[in-house]
Structure 1
């Protein structure tokens, strides 16, 4: 919420822009500014967000959270509750909705059972129970929807609402201007990505592929942006450009500066069910892409097999990048925006609310 982007921020904001009253409550596992706040939208309709820190002792933070949630329900009188973020929020949301005789929609923006939180004893079965009892389930990918229907046997309705982009932000920029803004070399062949730079997202495969590419073509540079896992060590190479954690507003400049964007992933409980938002972001910036052929991306790019590589296959990634550098190809895939997804969510909600 601090960064004001992504699914948990955009969908409530778009519902508010459609004229609906929306209130939200965040439980932060890390210290954050607490209290009420409003989304900064260009229109008069705003989401009334509040936040509570869990704190180091957990129980006092949970008590503050439930008090605040009860206060919001008593003052706001919601027609239904939408819960998401992780398994714990889904458990709480479904229980609170049931207690107050309200319908509940659980928004599964990832396979929450792949998160470390579900290793806590009791969390996974309680999460599965909440999914089974909720009146509605929204899933981030068709793969996750099929997984939910098969393994959780939900009583309520289930639909897929994929991640999207703010269309006003993600538009192609002039390549040279974008490179100058980010301090990147003007004449190099730039490949790269943005997002979590971690082992469980397959970033090591990209680094190894770059090493092989650069050994044969010294004009190829690697550009990375995003939080870096301590286990990911970048070589002291002047052709590796680590930009740190860029503000979201600068990501379109990064994707406009690159020659090829890489969407890394691994074949895991996370990778098989996620929907990499950066895929649409890259495509909206007219960036040729290469993606790990797992989950959503395998289906999205099924008509473009030359743009896919098997997770962990360095040779396959090298081949795909070379192909895009030599003969760039941008798939003609409709790019979904957040207003469109909010309309879809609203239609789903209207089937559920009494």
Structure 2
């Protein structure tokens, strides 16, 4: 098997899509499977990682997600590389510039084509005050995916969402978690002390892109609605960057019980997850919600929106608490419930950790590889049948 992967986001981008694709390519290489990635250029590109794996192209910022860059494909270079690779399957991970190039090549050369659907961009449009684009967007997305042998989605909720729009050939490609990196054992006082967060406070953590579609307004309204007694004993911590970061820093830089720590990754991030008392994640636009699984693996109970991939990962009142999207009263009640019930938090921590231990990347990737193989075999058989009829 030889795989060509087209995407408009890839390592060293730090979003969930880029990291998942990076792990997938690493898995393919470990199996001795040839893989070539076609992705946008990035100022932080690691040439050691890219060598013989990634072909980069000039890029521009994406309107709805400036941290992601849209590649400007060079058709001549792509055709030359693909001719040398002679792929047996083409995977388009984004429906934009790079994905469109892979789509066209697959159809022209009758190569099995699969896609993965990662982001509900349609749900972002109202947040950015351009809802009139939605009909155009769906016409294009429907066309883009109609010839795919498989469309991989990260969760049951995403599958149901697309089925309502008559998408076919949907298959779940879930997400795993590194339970060695994200784990509960941490020196809480040491971790919180690094960021001047009082160690006797009830720490409410948010990790994610600081953008309107992540429900940031719900986050702050929830914190502000906590009863005076609980608010006095709590501290809100935000980790992440994005279009709202500067305005939030300007507004809350002098507030004692709110910390904006900016972008974090690696050990610093995993330790902060484990040091928090609760993870508050009001985003209702997630197709999966990787940070939710990271928090669960860290033994930190999640209060999340009962929507999208978040509700697929949380078993209400067992591994976390789910609230109606945008319902600040429900989010406030959930946080206060966990504040007042340390035994409930402790049990949720254990149950969430147990759930995360079952979500291994190895088993998830083995299933995806088997799906690839079924697609290539099916396509090969159909071509053989056509040849027989032609003769």
Question: TM-score of the superposition, structure 1-length normalised?
Answer: 0.84
SS of 2:262's equivalent in the other structure is coil
Gaps of 5+ in 1: 40-45
Give runs of aligned pairs for residues 156-305 of structure 1, distance below 5 A.
Answer: 157-174=169-186, 175-213=188-226, 215-217=228-230, 218-230=232-244, 233=248, 234-235=251-252, 236-266=254-284, 271=285, 274-304=287-317
Residues 297-325 of structure 1: per-residue CA shift (max 9 Å, x gap): 33433442871211122221111011122
Corresponding residue of 1:2: 12
Matched, 1:111 2:130: no
Distance in structure 1 (CA, Å) of the matches to 2:300 and 2:26: 28
Change (3 A) 1:202 1:38: same
More relative contact order, 1 or 2 (CA 8 Å, 6+ apart): 1
Give runs of aligned pairs for residues 121-160 of structure 1, distance below 5 A.
Answer: 124-154=138-168, 157-160=169-172
Corresponding residue of 1:323: 337
Distance in structure 2 (CA, Å) of the matches to 1:316 and 1:153: 33
Q: Residue 54 of structure 2: which of 49, 53, 63 is its match?
A: 49
Residues 238-274 of structure 1: per-residue CA shift (max 9 Å, x gap): 11011011134422111012110112213xxxx2x61
Q: Are the aligned partners of 2:316 and 2:322 in contact in 1 as well (CA < 8 Å)?
A: no
Corresponding residue of 1:82: 91
Change (3 A) 1:299 1:341: closer
Residues 157-186 of structure 1: per-residue CA shift (max 9 Å, x gap): 321112222333222231223223444322
Change (3 A) 1:113 1:208: closer
Residues 121-167 of structure 1: per-residue CA shift (max 9 Å, x gap): 9664333122110111100111222233332443xx32111222233
Corresponding residue of 1:38: 49
Change (3 A) 1:70 1:181: farther
Corresponding residue of 1:310: 324
Q: Residue 347 of structure 1: which of 370, 373, 377 is its match?
A: 370
Matched length: 334
Residues 5-61 of structure 1: per-residue CA shift (max 9 Å, x gap): 621222222222233222101035xx636796526xxxxxx97112111359xxxx7
Change (3 A) 1:224 1:35: closer
Q: Offset of 1:276 from its aligned partner?
A: 0.6
Q: Are the aligned partners of 1:195 and 1:225 in contact in 2 as well (CA < 8 Å)?
A: yes
Larger helix share, 1 or 2: 2
Matched, 1:337 2:348: no
